[in-house]
Structure 1
Amino acid sequence: MIKRREFRVPSSDGKSGLHTVLWEPDGEVRQLLLISHGMTEHILRYDSFARFLAEQGIAVIGHDHLGHGGTVQNGRYGYFADKGGHVCVIRDLHRTASRIRVMYPGRPLYMLGHSMGSFFLRRYLTLYGEELAGAIIMGTGDQAMPIVIAGKLIAASIGLIRGKEYQSKWMHQLVLGNYNRSFMPSRTDNDWLSKNCESVDQYCSDPFCNFKFTASAYCDFFNIMLDLKLHRQEDRIPRSLPLFILSGAQDPVGEFGRGVRRVFRRYKKIGMTDTEMILYPDDRHELLNETDKEAVWHDILSWITYHEL
């Protein structure tokens, strides 16, 4: 019987409590997995996947990022922090990682980042990579430097004019709105997420998913993307750290595989010795919710199990 516990971990912003969920195996815990979720979603969307892993002896933990899900305070959806929100998100992930290490000392800890969470994970590796047994980078991308700089400048300008907490429909359309174009005629605004209609409908009807990012949070996210483009502290990533890069070949975030391949090649170029990539031919952005999700789940389980040996 899988036990699911929910509790609070103090955020590095000094005032929030991170809504945290832990899925515990009934028997022996062999490995640990920390999940960093994506933009405008929440950690309980990973319940089925986490239960699957917990049944195999993997304790899974994750929290709602600042401005998401049960962590939101005073209705500030899509807002990280008044200052240095991107730093807070990274530090929060480290706090949750530290919490599960204390609970299960000596167990290898892996980390999975999806979409926005994958970008934060990639930056996390430059700061705390030596503490992980491996990293699963899922639904990621590699935007061109001019696009990243332009995005940051636009978000900053909107923040100056309309305020940091302003949720711009135009900015939302600029960053996410174009993803659906490749799937026209579309059934919903979120068809790009998955070809699994049931999963897309669940996302559309989820009250914790239907909000827009603030100008401030977009700025923070573009800061992370800029750090990655500038290869900041990349030399600190342990070259022997196992990396598993997963994406749908029809995922517009990864430019239908092109951006994902660039990320893979970059890690190989800097000397990472254990890097694997899978592009699932007909899948879109949310691999864990796709029509072939069980195959993806088993691939992740097999990869973790292999690297435990």
Structure 2
Amino acid sequence: MSLQEIEFTSANGRDTIQAWVYEPIGQPKAIVQLIHGLGEHSRRYLHLISTLVDGGFIVVAGDHSGHGRTAMQQGTWGDAGEDSASVVVADEVTLQAKAKEALPQLPYVVFGHSWGSMIARGMAVDPQTELSGLILCGIAAQMRGIEKMIDRPELARLASSERGAEPAPQELVAQLFDGFLGRLGEGAGPTAWVALDADVVSNHGRDPFNNFGAPLSARFLQGFVDLYDQVTSDDWYKQLPAELPVLILAGDQDPVTNYGEGAYHVANRLADSGHADVRTRVFPGVRHEVHNEPTTRAETERETVEFIQRVAQR
């Protein structure tokens, strides 16, 4: 495997996005752009990246504005500037463009996890983007906090004010994550919803590039809600190319995907809107990071590799 680094200025005009290209030995079969989730970074996916590279795929992955190495170098966490819903999607579109400039012309697949699944959906309907396949892991869908709990007028007021770049009030952040610990019983830690395996949760918590507990700015929180609304709207299903193959992966104990129901909901809406090539896999008994859970990691990777191999041959 060979490794290259990519740097470019974020659409927010402030940050320098840090990204990496992992290339296999020999002739590559496809390019996979990996989009990480909220409060983490792309190198948490090294096991999946290694599997993809071993399968003959190039992997392109970056750290979003306000996250990972990008935030480490900038010194700003949990904020992506003004209109962050547009910023994070635009940055991924730019990363794809830069990858295509430097790499062979190959089938191009996007893998987005959690918040990354929202960014991936936004990217998939961007007119500048051309995809051969879309993989949505830990898909953010039917999130109770966004759909039923968050005080949207108060959030909008704060995000548009001079205090927009300041941390959002804790009660608004708590509303976003409403119900995440509801099924986990007494004594569950704040990020226990991430994985059933305690070692995965512990590793998540002690990784300094994760910084999941960093305060989220009001304008970032607004952008999160805005992007969620965009990619769950009727318009998104109409804009997504009908011929684009989609793979959805989730755990049935994951609150981000309404305990698996959100994954089926998106799959059914895709089918109803004329998208015939949709596969959904909901793993029983596991939580959010099905790609990291010891009991589902290998099967998640197998599903991912087989999907990419299939769409790359179309």
TM value normalised by structure 2: 0.90
How far residue 10 of structure 1 moved from its aligned partner, in angstroms, is 2.4
1:282-301 mapped onto 2 (5 Å cutoff): 282-292=285-295, 293-301=297-305
* Unmatched 5+ stretches in structure 1: none
SS at match of 1:181: coil
Amino acid at match of 1:8: E
Q: Cα 1:150–1:203, aligned 2, differ >3 Å: closer, same or farther?
A: closer
How far residue 129 of structure 1 moved from its aligned partner, in angstroms, is 8.2
1:25-59, Cα deviation, whole Å (9 max, x unpaired): 12211110001111111111111210111011111
**Are 2:248 and 1:245 equivalent residues in the alignment?**
yes
Amino acid at match of 2:307: W
SS at match of 1:105: coil
Q: Cα 1:151–1:11, aligned 2, differ >3 Å: closer, same or farther?
A: same
- Residue aligning to 2:126: 127
> 1:79·1:213 contact (CA, 8 Å) conserved in 2?
yes
How far residue 150 of structure 1 moved from its aligned partner, in angstroms, is 4.3
Q: Cα 1:216–1:5, aligned 2, differ >3 Å: closer, same or farther?
A: same
Aligned-partner Cα distance in 2 for 1:259–1:119:
13
1:111-159, Cα deviation, whole Å (9 max, x unpaired): 0111011112112222248600000011111347982794533322344
Amino acid at match of 2:29: R
Q: Give the alignment's Cα RMSD to 1 decimal.
A: 2.2
Find 2:269's aligned residue among 263, 266, 271: 266
Aligned-partner Cα distance in 2 for 1:142–1:62:
27
> 1:145·1:229 contact (CA, 8 Å) conserved in 2?
no
> 1:10·1:16 contact (CA, 8 Å) conserved in 2?
yes
**Are 2:56 and 1:53 equivalent residues in the alignment?**
no
The ranges of structure 1 where at least 4 consecutive aligned residues each deviate by more than 6 angstroms after the TM superposition are none
Higher helix share: 1
1:245-266, Cα deviation, whole Å (9 max, x unpaired): 1101111111111122111111
Q: Cα 1:128–1:243, aligned 2, differ >3 Å: closer, same or farther?
A: farther
- Residue aligning to 1:231: 234
Paired residues in the alignment total: 307
Aligned-partner Cα distance in 1 for 2:215–2:170:
8
How far residue 70 of structure 1 moved from its aligned partner, in angstroms, is 1.3
Q: Cα 1:194–1:143, aligned 2, differ >3 Å: closer, same or farther?
A: closer
How far residue 224 of structure 1 moved from its aligned partner, in angstroms, is 0.9
SS at match of 2:142: coil
How far residue 85 of structure 1 moved from its aligned partner, in angstroms, is 1.5
1:1-21, Cα deviation, whole Å (9 max, x unpaired): x22333312222223211102
Amino acid at match of 2:52: L
Q: Which moved more, 1:257-266 or 1:120-129?
A: 120-129
| Identity, % of aligned positions | 24
Q: Cα 1:171–1:144, aligned 2, differ >3 Å: closer, same or farther?
A: closer
How far residue 199 of structure 1 moved from its aligned partner, in angstroms, is 1.2
> 2:237·2:269 contact (CA, 8 Å) conserved in 1?
no
**Are 2:142 and 1:138 equivalent residues in the alignment?**
no
- Residue aligning to 2:205: 204
- Residue aligning to 2:103: 104
Aligned-partner Cα distance in 1 for 2:284–2:146:
29
Aligned-partner Cα distance in 2 for 1:304–1:181:
35
Aligned-partner Cα distance in 2 for 1:260–1:218:
23
How far residue 236 of structure 1 moved from its aligned partner, in angstroms, is 2.8
Q: Which moved more, 1:109-118 or 1:160-169?
A: 160-169
> 1:41·1:69 contact (CA, 8 Å) conserved in 2?
yes
